[in-house]
Chains A and B, each alone.
Chain A
Protein backbone atom coordinates (compact mmCIF):
# COMPACT_ATOMS: atom_id res chain seq x y z
CA UNK A 1 0.00 0.00 0.00
CA UNK A 2 2.63 2.43 1.04
CA UNK A 3 4.81 1.43 -1.89
CA UNK A 4 2.11 2.09 -4.46
CA UNK A 5 1.36 5.45 -2.88
CA UNK A 6 4.94 6.43 -3.37
CA UNK A 7 4.99 5.18 -6.87
CA UNK A 8 1.94 6.92 -8.25
CA UNK A 9 3.48 10.41 -8.51
CA UNK A 10 6.44 8.97 -10.37
CA UNK A 11 4.39 7.04 -12.89
CA UNK A 12 1.83 9.76 -13.48
CA UNK A 13 3.17 13.07 -14.79
CA UNK A 14 2.61 15.87 -12.32
CA UNK A 15 0.47 17.97 -14.61
CA UNK A 16 -2.24 15.35 -14.82
CA UNK A 17 -3.14 15.98 -11.19
CA UNK A 18 -3.56 19.72 -11.63
CA UNK A 19 -7.02 21.23 -11.33
CA UNK A 20 -8.53 22.73 -14.51
CA UNK A 21 -8.30 26.28 -13.10
CA UNK A 22 -4.49 26.13 -13.29
CA UNK A 23 -4.70 25.31 -16.98
CA UNK A 24 -7.02 28.28 -17.36
CA UNK A 25 -4.27 30.51 -15.95
CA UNK A 26 -1.75 29.31 -18.52
CA UNK A 27 -4.21 29.17 -21.41
CA UNK A 28 -3.94 32.83 -22.52
CA UNK A 29 -0.16 32.61 -22.81
CA UNK A 30 -0.26 29.26 -24.63
CA UNK A 31 -2.91 30.51 -27.03
CA UNK A 32 -1.03 33.72 -27.65
CA UNK A 33 2.21 31.88 -28.38
CA UNK A 34 0.53 29.35 -30.65
CA UNK A 35 -1.06 32.13 -32.67
CA UNK A 36 1.95 34.42 -32.84
CA UNK A 37 4.86 31.98 -32.97
CA UNK A 38 3.55 28.50 -33.71
CA UNK A 39 1.32 29.45 -36.59
CA UNK A 40 3.90 31.66 -38.37
CA UNK A 41 6.43 28.88 -38.04
CA UNK A 42 4.11 26.39 -39.72
CA UNK A 43 3.28 28.96 -42.38
CA UNK A 44 7.00 29.42 -42.96
CA UNK A 45 7.49 25.69 -43.40
CA UNK A 46 4.67 25.52 -45.92
CA UNK A 47 5.64 28.62 -47.91
CA UNK A 48 9.26 27.48 -48.11
CA UNK A 49 8.06 24.71 -50.44
CA UNK A 50 6.18 27.03 -52.79
CA UNK A 51 6.90 29.53 -55.56
CA UNK A 52 5.50 32.37 -53.42
CA UNK A 53 5.95 35.92 -54.76
CA UNK A 54 4.13 39.23 -54.38
CA UNK A 55 2.12 38.35 -57.51
CA UNK A 56 0.62 35.13 -56.11
CA UNK A 57 0.50 35.75 -52.34
CA UNK A 58 -2.89 34.05 -52.04
CA UNK A 59 -2.32 31.04 -54.29
CA UNK A 60 1.31 29.91 -54.44
CA UNK A 61 2.08 26.55 -56.08
CA UNK A 62 4.03 23.80 -54.36
CA UNK A 63 7.44 23.46 -55.96
CA UNK A 64 9.47 21.30 -53.58
CA UNK A 65 12.87 22.11 -52.17
CA UNK A 66 14.05 24.53 -54.88
CA UNK A 67 14.02 27.50 -52.49
CA UNK A 68 16.44 25.82 -50.13
CA UNK A 69 18.74 24.99 -53.01
CA UNK A 70 18.70 28.55 -54.35
CA UNK A 71 19.38 29.98 -50.89
CA UNK A 72 22.32 27.62 -50.45
CA UNK A 73 23.64 28.49 -53.91
CA UNK A 74 23.41 32.25 -53.27
CA UNK A 75 26.85 33.62 -52.31
CA UNK A 76 25.14 36.60 -50.66
CA UNK A 77 23.39 34.23 -48.23
CA UNK A 78 26.74 32.81 -47.15
CA UNK A 79 28.20 36.29 -47.16
CA UNK A 80 25.43 37.44 -44.84
CA UNK A 81 26.02 34.55 -42.45
CA UNK A 82 29.75 35.25 -42.51
CA UNK A 83 29.22 38.96 -41.92
CA UNK A 84 26.88 38.34 -38.98
CA UNK A 85 29.30 35.85 -37.46
CA UNK A 86 32.34 38.11 -37.73
CA UNK A 87 30.34 41.17 -36.67
CA UNK A 88 28.96 39.38 -33.60
CA UNK A 89 32.35 37.94 -32.59
CA UNK A 90 34.12 41.28 -32.88
CA UNK A 91 31.38 43.25 -31.11
CA UNK A 92 31.05 40.68 -28.31
CA UNK A 93 34.82 40.60 -27.74
CA UNK A 94 35.14 44.36 -27.34
CA UNK A 95 31.92 44.75 -25.34
CA UNK A 96 32.92 42.12 -22.78
CA UNK A 97 36.50 43.39 -22.57
CA UNK A 98 35.54 47.07 -22.20
CA UNK A 99 32.63 46.23 -19.92
CA UNK A 100 34.95 44.27 -17.63
CA UNK A 101 37.60 47.00 -17.57
CA UNK A 102 34.98 49.64 -16.85
CA UNK A 103 33.29 47.60 -14.14
CA UNK A 104 36.63 47.09 -12.38
CA UNK A 105 37.78 50.67 -12.84
CA UNK A 106 34.50 52.31 -11.84
CA UNK A 107 33.40 50.01 -9.03
CA UNK A 108 34.69 52.34 -6.26
CA UNK A 109 32.96 55.33 -7.86
CA UNK A 110 29.67 53.53 -8.45
CA UNK A 111 29.52 52.06 -4.95
CA UNK A 112 29.73 55.52 -3.43
CA UNK A 113 27.55 57.28 -6.01
CA UNK A 114 25.11 54.69 -7.26
CA UNK A 115 22.93 57.02 -9.40
CA UNK A 116 25.97 57.65 -11.63
CA UNK A 117 25.52 54.14 -13.01
CA UNK A 118 22.47 55.40 -14.92
CA UNK A 119 24.71 57.82 -16.87
CA UNK A 120 26.68 54.87 -18.21
CA UNK A 121 23.54 52.97 -19.18
CA UNK A 122 21.87 55.71 -21.24
CA UNK A 123 23.04 54.43 -24.66
CA UNK A 124 21.34 51.05 -24.26
CA UNK A 125 18.00 52.72 -23.52
CA UNK A 126 17.96 54.39 -26.94
CA UNK A 127 16.46 52.58 -29.91
CA UNK A 128 19.31 51.14 -32.04
CA UNK A 129 17.68 52.62 -35.13
CA UNK A 130 17.60 56.08 -33.52
CA UNK A 131 21.14 55.79 -32.23
CA UNK A 132 22.24 54.71 -35.71
CA UNK A 133 20.58 57.78 -37.19
CA UNK A 134 22.28 59.96 -34.58
CA UNK A 135 25.64 58.54 -35.62
CA UNK A 136 24.63 59.34 -39.15
CA UNK A 137 24.46 62.99 -38.13
CA UNK A 138 27.83 62.77 -36.39
CA UNK A 139 29.48 61.09 -39.37
CA UNK A 140 27.84 63.38 -41.92
CA UNK A 141 30.23 65.33 -44.12
CA UNK A 142 28.34 68.62 -43.84
CA UNK A 143 27.45 68.90 -40.18
CA UNK A 144 29.20 65.98 -38.46
CA UNK A 145 32.02 66.52 -36.00
CA UNK A 146 33.91 63.32 -36.70
CA UNK A 147 34.74 64.01 -40.40
CA UNK A 148 35.44 67.61 -39.38
CA UNK A 149 37.98 66.51 -36.76
CA UNK A 150 39.49 63.98 -39.17
CA UNK A 151 39.92 66.65 -41.83
CA UNK A 152 41.65 68.97 -39.41
CA UNK A 153 44.07 66.14 -38.80
CA UNK A 154 44.57 65.84 -42.55
CA UNK A 155 42.52 62.63 -42.93
CA UNK A 156 39.98 62.69 -45.73
CA UNK A 157 38.09 59.48 -45.06
CA UNK A 158 34.54 58.27 -45.43
CA UNK A 159 33.43 56.21 -42.47
CA UNK A 160 30.55 54.57 -44.33
CA UNK A 161 32.44 53.06 -47.25
CA UNK A 162 35.05 50.27 -47.24
CA UNK A 163 37.52 49.78 -45.69
CA UNK A 164 36.14 51.72 -42.70
CA UNK A 165 32.44 50.88 -42.88
CA UNK A 166 32.56 47.53 -41.06
CA UNK A 167 34.78 48.79 -38.21
CA UNK A 168 32.47 51.81 -37.92
CA UNK A 169 29.38 49.62 -37.61
CA UNK A 170 31.10 47.37 -35.04
CA UNK A 171 32.20 50.45 -33.10
CA UNK A 172 28.64 51.78 -32.96
CA UNK A 173 27.37 48.40 -31.72
CA UNK A 174 30.12 48.38 -29.08
CA UNK A 175 29.38 51.95 -28.00
CA UNK A 176 25.71 51.09 -27.56
CA UNK A 177 26.03 47.73 -25.77
CA UNK A 178 29.18 47.89 -23.67
CA UNK A 179 26.91 49.42 -20.98
CA UNK A 180 24.99 46.13 -20.99
CA UNK A 181 28.18 44.16 -20.27
CA UNK A 182 29.14 46.73 -17.66
CA UNK A 183 25.75 46.40 -15.92
CA UNK A 184 25.90 42.61 -15.64
CA UNK A 185 29.58 42.46 -14.71
CA UNK A 186 29.25 45.25 -12.16
CA UNK A 187 26.27 43.46 -10.59
CA UNK A 188 28.34 40.27 -10.46
CA UNK A 189 31.32 42.12 -8.96
CA UNK A 190 29.16 43.43 -6.16
CA UNK A 191 27.92 39.94 -5.40
CA UNK A 192 31.46 38.77 -4.56
CA UNK A 193 31.72 38.67 -0.75
CA UNK A 194 34.28 41.12 0.64
CA UNK A 195 35.63 38.45 3.01
CA UNK A 196 37.21 36.65 0.07
CA UNK A 197 39.38 39.68 -0.67
CA UNK A 198 40.17 40.05 3.02
CA UNK A 199 41.24 36.43 3.20
CA UNK A 200 43.41 36.80 0.11
CA UNK A 201 44.99 39.93 1.58
CA UNK A 202 45.76 38.10 4.82
CA UNK A 203 47.44 35.42 2.75
CA UNK A 204 49.64 38.14 1.26
CA UNK A 205 48.06 38.56 -2.17
CA UNK A 206 48.64 41.92 -3.84
CA UNK A 207 45.85 43.64 -5.80
CA UNK A 208 46.86 42.01 -9.08
CA UNK A 209 46.85 38.57 -7.50
CA UNK A 210 43.48 39.27 -5.88
CA UNK A 211 42.10 40.20 -9.28
CA UNK A 212 43.68 37.24 -11.03
CA UNK A 213 42.95 34.52 -8.47
CA UNK A 214 39.82 35.76 -6.65
CA UNK A 215 37.80 38.21 -8.75
CA UNK A 216 38.23 36.87 -12.29
CA UNK A 217 37.50 33.21 -11.52
CA UNK A 218 34.32 34.23 -9.72
CA UNK A 219 33.28 36.39 -12.68
CA UNK A 220 33.54 33.55 -15.20
CA UNK A 221 29.81 32.65 -15.16
CA UNK A 222 28.82 36.30 -15.56
CA UNK A 223 31.36 36.78 -18.35
CA UNK A 224 30.02 33.71 -20.14
CA UNK A 225 26.38 34.75 -19.88
CA UNK A 226 27.22 38.30 -21.02
CA UNK A 227 29.13 36.99 -24.02
CA UNK A 228 26.35 34.56 -24.92
CA UNK A 229 23.59 37.19 -24.74
CA UNK A 230 25.61 39.76 -26.65
CA UNK A 231 26.66 37.29 -29.32
CA UNK A 232 23.06 36.20 -29.91
CA UNK A 233 21.83 39.80 -30.09
CA UNK A 234 24.64 41.00 -32.34
CA UNK A 235 24.32 38.04 -34.68
CA UNK A 236 20.84 39.18 -35.72
CA UNK A 237 21.95 42.81 -36.15
CA UNK A 238 19.60 44.81 -38.36
CA UNK A 239 18.50 48.23 -37.10
CA UNK A 240 21.53 50.47 -37.08
CA UNK A 241 23.03 48.91 -40.22
CA UNK A 242 19.74 49.43 -42.04
CA UNK A 243 19.59 53.15 -41.23
CA UNK A 244 23.31 53.72 -41.83
CA UNK A 245 24.14 51.70 -44.94
CA UNK A 246 21.09 49.63 -45.90
CA UNK A 247 23.48 46.67 -46.24
CA UNK A 248 25.81 48.36 -48.72
CA UNK A 249 27.86 49.57 -50.40
CA UNK A 250 27.30 46.51 -52.58
CA UNK A 251 26.84 43.68 -50.13
CA UNK A 252 29.72 44.69 -47.86
CA UNK A 253 27.52 45.19 -44.78
CA UNK A 254 24.69 42.77 -45.57
CA UNK A 255 24.07 40.84 -42.35
CA UNK A 256 21.93 37.72 -42.52
CA UNK A 257 18.89 39.62 -41.20
CA UNK A 258 19.38 42.30 -43.83
CA UNK A 259 19.84 39.66 -46.52
CA UNK A 260 16.49 38.08 -45.70
CA UNK A 261 14.83 41.50 -45.58
CA UNK A 262 16.23 42.54 -48.94
CA UNK A 263 15.38 39.22 -50.61
CA UNK A 264 11.82 39.57 -49.42
CA UNK A 265 11.01 43.25 -49.81
CA UNK A 266 13.38 44.43 -52.52
CA UNK A 267 14.07 41.45 -54.76
CA UNK A 268 10.69 39.70 -54.53
CA UNK A 269 12.54 36.43 -53.80
CA UNK A 270 10.06 35.38 -51.13
CA UNK A 271 10.78 31.68 -51.32
CA UNK A 272 14.54 32.15 -50.97
CA UNK A 273 14.00 34.57 -48.10
CA UNK A 274 11.82 32.07 -46.25
CA UNK A 275 14.21 29.19 -46.90
CA UNK A 276 17.10 31.33 -45.65
CA UNK A 277 15.14 32.26 -42.52
CA UNK A 278 14.50 28.57 -41.79
CA UNK A 279 18.22 27.85 -42.07
CA UNK A 280 18.74 30.73 -39.66
CA UNK A 281 16.21 29.19 -37.26
CA UNK A 282 18.15 25.92 -37.37
CA UNK A 283 21.32 27.82 -36.51
CA UNK A 284 19.52 29.69 -33.72
CA UNK A 285 18.60 26.37 -32.10
CA UNK A 286 22.24 25.94 -31.05
CA UNK A 287 22.39 28.97 -28.72
CA UNK A 288 18.73 28.34 -27.81
CA UNK A 289 19.68 24.89 -26.63
CA UNK A 290 22.72 26.14 -24.72
CA UNK A 291 20.85 28.91 -22.96
CA UNK A 292 17.92 26.60 -22.20
CA UNK A 293 20.32 24.26 -20.44
CA UNK A 294 21.67 27.19 -18.45
CA UNK A 295 18.19 28.49 -17.65
CA UNK A 296 16.93 25.05 -16.64
CA UNK A 297 19.75 24.77 -14.16
CA UNK A 298 18.95 28.22 -12.79
CA UNK A 299 15.20 27.79 -12.49
CA UNK A 300 15.62 24.28 -11.19
CA UNK A 301 17.80 25.55 -8.39
CA UNK A 302 15.42 28.36 -7.45
Chain B
Protein backbone atom coordinates (compact mmCIF):
# COMPACT_ATOMS: atom_id res chain seq x y z
CA UNK B 1 0.00 0.00 0.00
CA UNK B 2 2.62 2.46 1.13
CA UNK B 3 4.88 1.52 -1.75
CA UNK B 4 2.31 2.25 -4.46
CA UNK B 5 1.70 5.72 -3.08
CA UNK B 6 5.34 6.69 -2.66
CA UNK B 7 5.78 8.26 -6.13
CA UNK B 8 2.66 10.39 -5.67
CA UNK B 9 3.87 11.49 -2.24
CA UNK B 10 7.30 12.38 -3.61
CA UNK B 11 5.67 14.41 -6.37
CA UNK B 12 3.47 16.17 -3.85
CA UNK B 13 6.46 17.15 -1.70
CA UNK B 14 8.53 18.27 -4.68
CA UNK B 15 5.68 20.46 -5.85
CA UNK B 16 5.24 21.81 -2.31
CA UNK B 17 8.91 22.78 -1.92
CA UNK B 18 8.90 24.34 -5.39
CA UNK B 19 5.84 26.45 -4.59
CA UNK B 20 7.28 27.58 -1.25
CA UNK B 21 10.53 28.65 -2.91
CA UNK B 22 8.85 30.45 -5.83
CA UNK B 23 6.32 32.32 -3.70
CA UNK B 24 8.88 33.34 -1.11
CA UNK B 25 11.61 34.07 -3.64
CA UNK B 26 11.55 37.88 -3.20
CA UNK B 27 12.01 37.45 0.54
CA UNK B 28 14.86 34.98 0.10
CA UNK B 29 16.53 37.08 -2.59
CA UNK B 30 16.27 40.30 -0.60
CA UNK B 31 17.55 38.69 2.59
CA UNK B 32 20.43 37.11 0.67
CA UNK B 33 21.27 40.41 -1.04
CA UNK B 34 21.35 42.19 2.31
CA UNK B 35 23.99 39.74 3.56
CA UNK B 36 26.32 40.09 0.55
CA UNK B 37 29.11 42.60 0.04
CA UNK B 38 28.50 45.07 -2.77
CA UNK B 39 30.87 43.32 -5.26
CA UNK B 40 29.12 40.03 -4.49
CA UNK B 41 25.74 41.63 -5.22
CA UNK B 42 26.71 42.88 -8.68
CA UNK B 43 28.53 39.62 -9.47
CA UNK B 44 25.28 37.77 -8.63
CA UNK B 45 27.04 35.03 -6.68
CA UNK B 46 24.92 32.27 -5.16
CA UNK B 47 27.34 31.18 -2.43
CA UNK B 48 28.93 33.71 -0.11
CA UNK B 49 30.08 34.33 3.46
CA UNK B 50 27.38 36.55 5.04
CA UNK B 51 28.28 40.04 6.19
CA UNK B 52 26.33 42.39 8.43
CA UNK B 53 27.92 45.58 7.11
CA UNK B 54 24.73 46.84 5.43
CA UNK B 55 22.71 46.35 8.60
CA UNK B 56 25.31 48.23 10.60
CA UNK B 57 25.15 50.98 8.02
CA UNK B 58 21.38 51.51 8.00
CA UNK B 59 21.28 51.78 11.78
CA UNK B 60 24.32 54.01 12.24
CA UNK B 61 24.52 56.22 9.14
CA UNK B 62 22.65 59.34 10.14
CA UNK B 63 22.03 60.50 6.58
CA UNK B 64 19.83 57.49 5.89
CA UNK B 65 17.04 58.21 8.39
CA UNK B 66 16.09 54.53 8.55
CA UNK B 67 15.82 54.32 12.37
CA UNK B 68 13.29 57.13 12.25
CA UNK B 69 11.15 55.37 9.63
CA UNK B 70 11.20 52.28 11.82
CA UNK B 71 10.23 54.21 14.93
CA UNK B 72 7.44 55.94 12.98
CA UNK B 73 6.02 52.64 11.79
CA UNK B 74 6.14 51.20 15.32
CA UNK B 75 4.32 54.11 16.92
CA UNK B 76 1.79 54.46 14.09
CA UNK B 77 0.96 50.75 14.23
CA UNK B 78 0.71 50.66 18.02
CA UNK B 79 -1.39 53.82 18.12
CA UNK B 80 -3.70 52.67 15.34
CA UNK B 81 -4.18 49.30 17.00
CA UNK B 82 -4.96 50.90 20.35
CA UNK B 83 -7.57 53.27 18.91
CA UNK B 84 -9.20 50.55 16.83
CA UNK B 85 -9.51 48.20 19.80
CA UNK B 86 -10.73 50.96 22.12
CA UNK B 87 -13.63 51.94 19.88
CA UNK B 88 -14.63 48.46 18.71
CA UNK B 89 -14.56 46.42 21.94
CA UNK B 90 -17.46 48.22 23.70
CA UNK B 91 -19.40 48.39 20.43
CA UNK B 92 -18.89 44.68 19.79
CA UNK B 93 -20.28 43.92 23.24
CA UNK B 94 -23.33 46.10 22.64
CA UNK B 95 -23.92 44.49 19.25
CA UNK B 96 -23.69 40.92 20.54
CA UNK B 97 -25.60 41.25 23.84
CA UNK B 98 -28.11 43.97 23.00
CA UNK B 99 -28.41 43.60 19.24
CA UNK B 100 -27.78 47.31 18.73
CA UNK B 101 -26.69 47.84 15.13
CA UNK B 102 -26.61 44.13 14.34
CA UNK B 103 -28.72 44.56 11.24
CA UNK B 104 -27.17 47.76 9.87
CA UNK B 105 -24.02 49.02 11.59
CA UNK B 106 -22.28 45.64 11.76
CA UNK B 107 -22.68 44.60 8.12
CA UNK B 108 -21.92 48.14 6.96
CA UNK B 109 -18.64 48.34 8.87
CA UNK B 110 -17.49 44.82 8.16
CA UNK B 111 -17.90 45.48 4.47
CA UNK B 112 -16.13 48.81 4.33
CA UNK B 113 -13.30 46.92 2.66
CA UNK B 114 -15.29 47.17 -0.57
CA UNK B 115 -14.65 50.91 -0.65
CA UNK B 116 -11.35 51.85 -2.30
CA UNK B 117 -9.26 53.79 0.21
CA UNK B 118 -8.22 56.34 -2.39
CA UNK B 119 -11.71 57.85 -2.11
CA UNK B 120 -10.83 59.06 1.38
CA UNK B 121 -7.29 60.12 0.55
CA UNK B 122 -8.21 63.58 -0.73
CA UNK B 123 -10.61 64.66 2.05
CA UNK B 124 -8.18 63.30 4.64
CA UNK B 125 -5.40 65.32 3.10
CA UNK B 126 -7.52 68.48 3.21
CA UNK B 127 -8.82 67.74 6.70
CA UNK B 128 -5.35 67.00 8.10
CA UNK B 129 -4.00 70.12 6.49
CA UNK B 130 -6.63 72.22 8.24
CA UNK B 131 -6.04 70.73 11.69
CA UNK B 132 -2.27 70.39 11.38
CA UNK B 133 -2.09 66.60 11.32
CA UNK B 134 -0.20 66.35 8.02
CA UNK B 135 3.13 64.56 8.39
CA UNK B 136 2.45 63.51 11.98
CA UNK B 137 2.41 60.06 13.55
CA UNK B 138 -0.89 60.88 15.27
CA UNK B 139 -2.49 61.51 11.89
CA UNK B 140 -1.30 58.22 10.45
CA UNK B 141 -2.30 56.36 13.62
CA UNK B 142 -5.86 57.64 13.13
CA UNK B 143 -5.77 56.36 9.53
CA UNK B 144 -4.44 53.01 10.69
CA UNK B 145 -7.35 52.81 13.13
CA UNK B 146 -9.86 53.54 10.35
CA UNK B 147 -8.36 50.73 8.29
CA UNK B 148 -8.46 48.30 11.23
CA UNK B 149 -11.92 48.97 12.63
CA UNK B 150 -13.73 46.51 10.31
CA UNK B 151 -11.37 43.62 11.02
CA UNK B 152 -11.30 44.29 14.76
CA UNK B 153 -15.08 44.47 14.90
CA UNK B 154 -15.58 41.20 12.98
CA UNK B 155 -13.15 39.37 15.25
CA UNK B 156 -14.45 40.82 18.51
CA UNK B 157 -18.10 40.17 17.64
CA UNK B 158 -17.20 36.60 16.74
CA UNK B 159 -15.39 36.01 20.00
CA UNK B 160 -17.87 37.73 22.31
CA UNK B 161 -20.62 35.60 20.78
CA UNK B 162 -18.84 32.59 22.26
CA UNK B 163 -18.67 34.03 25.80
CA UNK B 164 -21.07 32.24 28.16
CA UNK B 165 -23.73 34.76 29.30
CA UNK B 166 -24.04 33.10 32.73
CA UNK B 167 -21.09 35.02 34.20
CA UNK B 168 -22.63 38.32 33.18
CA UNK B 169 -26.00 37.30 34.59
CA UNK B 170 -24.36 36.41 37.91
CA UNK B 171 -22.76 39.84 38.04
CA UNK B 172 -26.08 41.47 37.24
CA UNK B 173 -27.74 39.61 40.08
CA UNK B 174 -25.03 41.06 42.31
CA UNK B 175 -26.17 44.51 41.22
CA UNK B 176 -23.70 45.44 38.45
CA UNK B 177 -24.98 47.73 35.68
CA UNK B 178 -24.25 47.35 31.97
CA UNK B 179 -21.10 49.45 32.09
CA UNK B 180 -19.93 47.67 35.24
CA UNK B 181 -20.38 44.28 33.60
CA UNK B 182 -18.47 45.51 30.58
CA UNK B 183 -15.58 46.85 32.62
CA UNK B 184 -15.23 44.08 35.17
CA UNK B 185 -16.34 41.01 33.22
CA UNK B 186 -16.01 41.56 29.49
CA UNK B 187 -12.73 43.47 29.35
CA UNK B 188 -10.75 40.91 31.41
CA UNK B 189 -12.34 38.00 29.54
CA UNK B 190 -11.47 39.59 26.22
CA UNK B 191 -7.74 39.96 26.84
CA UNK B 192 -6.63 36.83 24.94
CA UNK B 193 -8.88 37.91 22.07
CA UNK B 194 -7.43 41.40 22.16
CA UNK B 195 -3.98 39.92 21.67
CA UNK B 196 -5.13 38.25 18.46
CA UNK B 197 -6.89 41.39 17.24
CA UNK B 198 -3.85 43.50 18.05
CA UNK B 199 -1.51 41.19 16.15
CA UNK B 200 -3.57 41.41 12.97
CA UNK B 201 -4.24 45.10 13.39
CA UNK B 202 -0.52 45.74 13.87
CA UNK B 203 0.30 43.86 10.66
CA UNK B 204 -2.28 45.79 8.64
CA UNK B 205 -1.15 49.14 10.03
CA UNK B 206 2.49 48.32 9.42
CA UNK B 207 1.84 47.38 5.79
CA UNK B 208 -0.18 50.49 4.93
CA UNK B 209 1.37 52.50 2.09
CA UNK B 210 -1.12 54.78 0.32
CA UNK B 211 -1.77 57.17 3.21
CA UNK B 212 1.84 57.07 4.30
CA UNK B 213 2.74 58.28 0.82
CA UNK B 214 0.09 61.01 0.66
CA UNK B 215 0.11 62.37 4.19
CA UNK B 216 3.81 62.43 5.06
CA UNK B 217 6.71 64.42 3.68
CA UNK B 218 9.53 64.03 6.19
CA UNK B 219 8.86 63.55 9.89
CA UNK B 220 6.29 60.76 9.94
CA UNK B 221 7.41 58.64 6.94
CA UNK B 222 6.77 54.94 7.68
CA UNK B 223 9.01 52.09 6.50
CA UNK B 224 6.77 51.09 3.59
CA UNK B 225 7.20 54.53 2.05
CA UNK B 226 10.76 55.03 3.29
CA UNK B 227 12.12 51.80 1.83
CA UNK B 228 10.72 52.61 -1.59
CA UNK B 229 12.30 56.07 -1.36
CA UNK B 230 15.72 54.49 -0.94
CA UNK B 231 15.81 53.26 -4.50
CA UNK B 232 15.87 56.72 -5.99
CA UNK B 233 17.71 58.61 -3.29
CA UNK B 234 20.36 55.97 -2.60
CA UNK B 235 21.24 55.25 -6.21
CA UNK B 236 22.90 51.87 -6.46
CA UNK B 237 23.40 51.06 -2.77
CA UNK B 238 21.55 47.79 -3.15
CA UNK B 239 22.93 46.25 0.04
CA UNK B 240 21.48 48.95 2.25
CA UNK B 241 18.16 48.88 0.42
CA UNK B 242 17.94 45.12 0.84
CA UNK B 243 18.87 45.33 4.53
CA UNK B 244 16.30 48.06 5.15
CA UNK B 245 13.59 46.02 3.42
CA UNK B 246 14.48 42.86 5.29
CA UNK B 247 14.20 44.66 8.62
CA UNK B 248 10.95 46.33 7.51
CA UNK B 249 9.35 43.06 6.42
CA UNK B 250 10.33 41.15 9.55
CA UNK B 251 7.82 42.37 12.19
CA UNK B 252 4.68 41.41 10.20
CA UNK B 253 6.27 38.12 9.15
CA UNK B 254 7.02 37.15 12.76
CA UNK B 255 3.60 38.31 14.02
CA UNK B 256 1.94 36.59 11.07
CA UNK B 257 3.27 33.25 12.29
CA UNK B 258 1.07 33.68 15.37
CA UNK B 259 -1.76 35.54 13.73
CA UNK B 260 -2.64 33.55 10.63
CA UNK B 261 -5.05 31.24 12.46
CA UNK B 262 -7.19 34.21 13.47
CA UNK B 263 -6.76 35.67 10.03
CA UNK B 264 -8.53 32.72 8.44
CA UNK B 265 -11.36 33.15 10.90
CA UNK B 266 -11.63 36.88 10.37
CA UNK B 267 -11.45 36.77 6.60
CA UNK B 268 -13.92 34.03 6.18
CA UNK B 269 -16.28 35.33 8.88
CA UNK B 270 -18.56 32.35 8.71
CA UNK B 271 -18.74 32.12 4.93
CA UNK B 272 -16.95 28.78 4.83
CA UNK B 273 -19.33 27.12 7.24
CA UNK B 274 -22.27 27.76 4.91
- Which positions in A face B, CB cutoff 8 Å? 14-15, 18-19, 21-26, 28-30, 32-33, 36-37, 39-41, 43-44, 47, 57, 102, 105-106, 108-109, 116-138, 142-143, 145, 148, 175, 178-180, 183-184, 187-188, 191, 221-222, 225, 229, 232-233, 235-236, 238-239, 242-243, 256-257, 260-261, 264-265, 270, 273-274, 277-278, 280-281, 284, 287-288, 291-292, 294-302
Could you write out 13 A-B pairs with CB less than 8 Å apart?
A: A28-B91, A29-B88, A127-B252, A239-B209, A239-B210, A257-B118, A260-B122, A264-B122, A277-B118, A277-B119, A281-B119, A299-B102, A301-B274
Determine the distance from Cα of A218 to Cα of B101 in the docked complex, in whole angstroms: 32
Does B241 contact A108, Cβ atoms closer than 8 Å? no
Whether a CB of chain A sits under 8 angstroms from the CB of B190 is no
Q: Does B201 contact A (CB under 8 A)?
A: no
Q: Given the known A-B contacts A22-B100, A122-B24, A138-B26, are A133 and B231 also in contact in the complex, defined by CB atoms under 8 Å?
A: yes
Are B245 and A130 neighbours in the complex by a CB distance under 8 Å?
A: yes
Q: Across the interface, do B271 and A280 meet the contact criterion of CB distance under 8 Å?
A: no
Within the assembled complex, what's the spacing in Å between the Cα atoms of A252 and B138?
A: 36
Q: Is B67 an interface residue (CB 8 A)?
A: no
Interface string of B220-233 (1 = CB under 8 A from A): 00011101100100
> Separation in Å of the A57 CB from the closest CB of chain B?
7
Q: Is B29 an interface residue (CB 8 A)?
A: yes
Are B268 and A109 in contact, CB atoms less than 8 angstroms apart? no
Given the complex of chains A and B, what is the CA–CA distance between A257 and B120 in angstroms?
11
In the complex formed, the residue of B with least CB distance to A110 is B16
Task: Check B272 against A191 for contact (C-beta < 8 Å).
Answer: yes
Cross-chain contact A143 with B86 (CB below 8 angstroms): no
Taking a contact as CB atoms under 8 Å apart, the answer to whether A184 and B20 are in contact is no
10 extra interface residue pairs, beta carbon distance < 8 Å, beyond A25-B179, A298-B274: A22-B98, A25-B90, A109-B16, A130-B223, A175-B22, A188-B268, A221-B272, A242-B228, A281-B119, A287-B114
Expressed in whole angstroms, the minimum distance between the Cβ of A227 and any Cβ of chain B is 12
Kindly provide the distance from the CB of A212 to the nearest chain B CB, expressed in whole angstroms. 19
Indicate if the CB atoms of A298 and B269 lie closer than 8 Å: yes
Q: Which residues of A contact B236 (CB under 8 A)?
A: 142
Set A148, A179, A278: member contacting B23, Cβ < 8 A:
A179
Nearest-neighbour CB distance to chain A for B66, whole angstroms, equals: 13
Across the two chains, which residue of chain B brings its CB closest to A15? Answer: B100
A29 to B260, CA, bound (A): 26
Contact assessment for B127 and A43 in the assembled complex, using a CB-CB cutoff below 8 Å: yes
**Chain A positions within 8 Å of B203 at CB level:** 125
CB of B121 within 8 A of CB of A261, answer: yes
Q: Are B257 and A302 in contact (CB under 8 A)?
A: no
- Quick one: CB contact mask for B186-209 with A, threshold 8 Å, 1 for yes? 000000000000000001001111
Chain B residue contacts of A296, Cβ below 8 A: 103, 107
Contact status A123-B24, CB under 8 Å: yes
Collect the chain B residues with CB atoms within 8 Å of residue A291's CB: 111, 114
Q: Which of B55-63, B141-149, B164-172 contacts A (4 or more CB under 8 A)?
A: B141-149
Docked CA distance A191–B265 (Å):
13
Q: How far is the CA of A299 from the CA of B271 in the complex (A)?
A: 10
B19/A120 in contact, CB under 8 A: yes
**A166–B31 Cα gap in the complex (Å)?**
27
- Assess whether A23 is in contact with B100, with CB atoms less than 8 Å apart: yes
Q: Is the CB of B114 within 8 A of A284?
A: yes
Is A138 in contact with B29, judged by CB distance below 8 angstroms? yes
Contacts of B270 on A, CB cut-off 8 Å? Answer: 298-299, 301-302
Q: Kindly state the separation between the CA atoms of A125 and B204 in the bound complex, as whole angstroms.
A: 9
CA distance A41 to B146 in the complex (A): 14
